[in-house]
Structure 1
């Protein structure tokens, strides 16, 4: 199943966001795959600094369990200085409903 959501960057942080993802930690990749995630893309609306993410997941519950991993919490802490976050440093994220799909 596809999951889509949006997040928000701070002004001037697009280059840094890309740099950090270009060097995505191998442990983070392993965690994403272990929790059923694959074919993950993140797009940027440069006018609004909104990030649009789309990922294929096996199961919503399995995917949600990834949030409680140590590596995921480290990643959130690492990214907190460049994007909108909640008090626990998780990114402020809004799920987007699927309105159309063409295979």
Structure 2
């Protein structure tokens, strides 16, 4: 099982609404995540907008590709895109969808 952690940046002025949206994730989005192999998925949001995501999956790239093939993911990502700051190195404009900007961090320690 792969453990995947990633960082994204939510616009500080949109953090409250971002939290509200995640308090009521669409049931079909939850079903798609589970069916695509996303397990033990958590998001943590710091007050300044730093978002830390964590999930477990057999194969992260396969799980991400499976989500990419769902219509619900396209709708969700489109709705979430305005909440995020552009990835570092991109000045304004539209960047990748939030799920495309998820770059896993390198795990350096795990206590089993």
CA RMSD of aligned residues (A): 1.9
Q: How far did residue 88 of structure 1 move?
A: 6.8
- 5 Å matches for 1:7-86? 7-47=8-48, 49-65=49-65, 66-84=67-85
User: Which of the pair is proportionally richer in strand?
Assistant: 1
Question: Which consecutive residues of structure 2, in runs of 5 or more, have no partner in the other structure?
Answer: 88-93
2:97 is the alignment partner of 1:95? no
Structure 1 consecutive aligned stretches of length 4 or more whose deviation exceeds 2 Å: 84-89
The Cα offsets for residues 28-50 of structure 1, whole Å up to 9 and x where unpaired, read as 10110011111111112324x21
Against the structure 1 CA distance between its residues 88 and 28, is the aligned structure 2 distance closer, same or farther, given a 3 Å change threshold? farther
- Give structure 1 stretches of 5+ with no counterpart: none
Higher helix share: 2
Q: How many residue pairs get matched?
A: 102
Q: Could you tell me whether the CA contact under 8 Å between 1:76 and 1:89 is conserved in 2?
A: no
